[in-house]
Structure 1
Amino acid sequence: MQNQECEISGRSIQTSRRTFLKQTSVAMLAGTLSQSKLLSAAETPPGKPEARIKKAVKYQMITEPVSVLDKFKMLKDLGFDGTEIHFRSKVNPKEVRRAIDATGVQVHGFLNSSRDELKDSIDQAKYYGGTSVLVVAGRVDDKNPYDVVYQQQQAKLRKHLPYAEQQGIRLLVENVWNNFLLSPLEMARFIDELESPAAGVYFDVGNVVRFGWPEQWIRILGPRIVKLDIKEYSRKKQVDEGLWKGFQVEITEGDCNWPEIRKALSDIGYTQGWATAEVKGGDRQRLQDISERMDRALDLA
């Protein structure tokens, strides 16, 4: 790791990363490091200098049968600041760029999922003017031992972090149901060991409700959290109907304690990052409902 970083970034950058590691390690214990140390200036979109959480939806959630430009116009009309594009999304990148320029609605990130090759995703995020690539860090099962996955996923990220730094793109690991990084303390350690200011967390609020409390994760992860996925989870539906049925509940109607989540976000200084809905999409009416629910959950109205 150190040799690779020296080749790419030089002694001064290596030193700065060591300093960064020390700062974030202290933050894990004390929770005192401000969000601004990890958020770049690019996180605040042009023309929106005020400090506020920005709303987005995943692009694949927009099912209205209209052009790319009209989809972006609709997002703007409904109060969304941006969207994210998945690597499987069938879109014309040039059309998307024109829609961004015409509406001011941003593509704030690119969704890589669990693919091993991250360079293309970094390039895509850069092309759209985004600031991040969402990464799913492997999966633990009977054929993929926990310790091996831990080492493999850190190696994958370390391979691409220098290039991400050069491009001004963050590689953000999401907490998902992959039997891996099962506590906020371990997730904080995983990120800190990468020793890169380009590494961070894409925190999914609803994904931890099954076995934890989002507000606790938020305070422990602290400034490592760069972006949020917004969804709900119902423990009652989990028990009564099955594990995955817990997600079949609307934002503000599950077991997420939104007042406590908002307080935790405020405590770590998360006031101007992105919050992206990851729920069942639909037409204009459905997206309007999602927008209004996000406003209530995050007190954005």
Structure 2
Amino acid sequence: MRHPSRREFLKSSATAVCAAGLGGGALANSLTASAPTAAPLFPPTLSIKKGVWFEMLPAKLSISDRFKLARDVGFEVAQVPTQPDEGKVDEIKKAAEAANIRIDSVMNMDHWKYPLSSSDRAVVEKSLSGMRTSLHNAKLWGSDAVLLVPGVVNPQTSYHDAWTRSQKEIRTLIPLAEELRVVIAIEEVWNKFLLSPLEMANYISEFQSPWIKAWFDVGNVLLYGYPQDWIHTLGK
């Protein structure tokens, strides 16, 4: 039996990440639309592009070659991690453009180690600094959104505290997000927080800002929910 090569495997796979926001999606592939005045004859089509998480590409390659490989095997967009090194920020931008790969989103890298829900002010400040860097990265790279895990529930942090603390800190980031025109996209993940679509929709709607939306990962809810339910709820 012939096994597929790495290149063939990458070419046949796609990362379908849905960013569904209240009032509009975080990315170009939004799940929402304005309410039609009349029922359409045919349902709207959703343009889904093949995307890749940059860190999945071989680290032994140069940044330029990693983007070239992604394009060569059929990817059109990439999600890139926060980059605090200004020199590398520019290198990433040029390499992506040369390979004709769009960086559609930034993965904020400090939200697990330094959660916004922490009771330690020093930890929170590091988290906020990481988000500001991520937002500026996104602006330079022409990205639509920064993915943010808003908080973590653990023995030290209650559900209520994770909710109130994270919302308070995220609100301080809204002016920068608006200035840069980059969405802060809240992800549901295995952080024991925002465990239902109704909760997540309510959490986001309380910001009352078009710059705070939902980043919906289908796989993350399979353990305790139904993706289609989340999509319908978050897309309203």
In the alignment, does 2:227 pair up with 1:218? no
Q: Deviations over 1:186-236 (max 9, x none)?
A: 00000000000011111111111111111111111115xxxxxxxxxxxxx
CA–CA distance in structure 2, aligned partners of residues 75 and 145 of structure 1? 41
Structure with more of its chain in helix, by fraction: 1
What does residue 98 of structure 1 align with?
94
Q: Deviations over 1:260-296 (max 9, x none)?
A: xxxxxxxxxxxxxxxxxxxxxxxxxxxxxxxxxxxxx
Give the gaps of 5 or more residues in structure 1.
1-23, 28-33, 38-49, 224-301
Q: Deviations over 1:15-44 (max 9, x none)?
A: xxxxxxxxx59x9xxxxxx7245xxxxxxx
In the alignment, does 2:193 pair up with 1:197? no
- Please report the TM-score for the alignment, with normalisation by the length of structure 2: 0.70
| CA distance 1:131–1:145, change in 2 (3 Å) | same
Contact 1:55 1:80 in 2 (8 A): yes
Mapping 1:82-231, distance limit 5 Å = 82-87=77-82, 92-113=88-109, 114=111, 115=114, 116-117=127-128, 118-222=131-235
Contact 1:125 1:132 in 2 (8 A): yes
Mapping 1:32-111, distance limit 5 Å = 35-36=32-33, 52-63=47-58, 65-87=60-82, 92-111=88-107
Q: Deviations over 1:29-65 (max 9, x none)?
A: xxxxx7245xxxxxxxxxxxx9611221111110163
Q: CA RMSD, aligned part only? A: 2.5
CA–CA distance in structure 2, aligned partners of residues 155 and 214 of structure 1? 28
Contact 1:60 1:89 in 2 (8 A): no
| CA distance 1:84–1:153, change in 2 (3 Å) | same
Deviation of residue 128 (structure 1)?
Answer: 1.2
CA–CA distance in structure 1, aligned partners of residues 58 and 143 of structure 2? 22
Contact 2:83 2:134 in 1 (8 A): no
What does residue 4 of structure 1 align with?
none
Contact 1:69 1:96 in 2 (8 A): yes
Contact 2:83 2:137 in 1 (8 A): no
Mapping 1:249-288, distance limit 5 Å = none
Deviation of residue 110 (structure 1)?
Answer: 1.1
Contact 2:106 2:147 in 1 (8 A): yes
CA–CA distance in structure 2, aligned partners of residues 99 and 187 of structure 1? 36
- Please report the TM-score for the alignment, with normalisation by the length of structure 1: 0.56
The secondary structure found in structure 2 opposite 1:97 is helix
The secondary structure found in structure 2 opposite 1:92 is helix
Identity %: 33
